[in-house]
Amino acid sequence: MYDFKIEAADTATLYRDIASALEGLLAGEPDPIANMANAAALIFESLPDVNWVGFYRNVGGELVLGPFQGRPACIRMTFDQGVCGAAAKSRQLQRVEDVNAFPGHIACDSASRSEIVVPLIRDGEVIGVLDIDSPKPARFTEEDEGGVVKLGEILSRVL
């Protein structure tokens, strides 16, 4: 059983603790589905005010739903669709304070109000994205960006 109980006092420490737990969880395991599943569960359990955490994988140039925590979600997106598509196409983290104001946002859970998506890049290829949604408007800050980028770096190495 894994029982991480991550309750950090500040955002930077929180992400450091999640990153360290993630490294431990993924160490030595080569199976990407197992790793994505555990990563989604760890992040979902550890970050406050999130309602969806999961992966879309680049399968033949399309983003296809991977392991996640939260409500059932849209299965496929092109690189021209949604916040996830924008992250994959631009290869840049997307932090959206109001998803309803984002052109082309795909609403999987109508409770979602804000979102952060980091592209996962390995050997120059976008292998997928990590998508984190919140029911709170403007839930994610620049500090979250730094933390989520770090999680994305770990995940890109091991998925």
Question: Contact positions toward ligand SME, by CB under 6 A?
Answer: 52, 73-74, 82-84, 105-106, 108, 112, 115, 131, 133
Q: Is the dihedral of CA 11, 58, 54, 136 positive or negative?
A: positive
The minimum distance between CB 3 and ligand SME, in angstroms, equals 27
Cβ at position 65, least distance to ligand SME in Å: 8
The Cα 64–Cα 54 span in angstroms is: 11
Closer of 21 and 53 to ligand SME (Cβ):
53
Least separation in angstroms between CB 91 and ligand SME:
15
CB of 72 to ligand SME, least distance (A): 9
Q: Which lies closer to ligand SME via its Cβ, residue 14 or residue 83?
A: 83
Q: Which is nearer to ligand SME, 89 or 150 (CB)?
A: 89
The CA–CA distances, whole Å, from 49 to 5, 26, 53, 133 equal: 16, 24, 11, 9
Polymer length of the chain: 159
Interatomic CA distance for residues 74 and 72, integer angstroms? 7
Cβ–Cβ < 8 Å for 41, 81 = no
Nearer to ligand SME, 71 or 157 (CB): 71
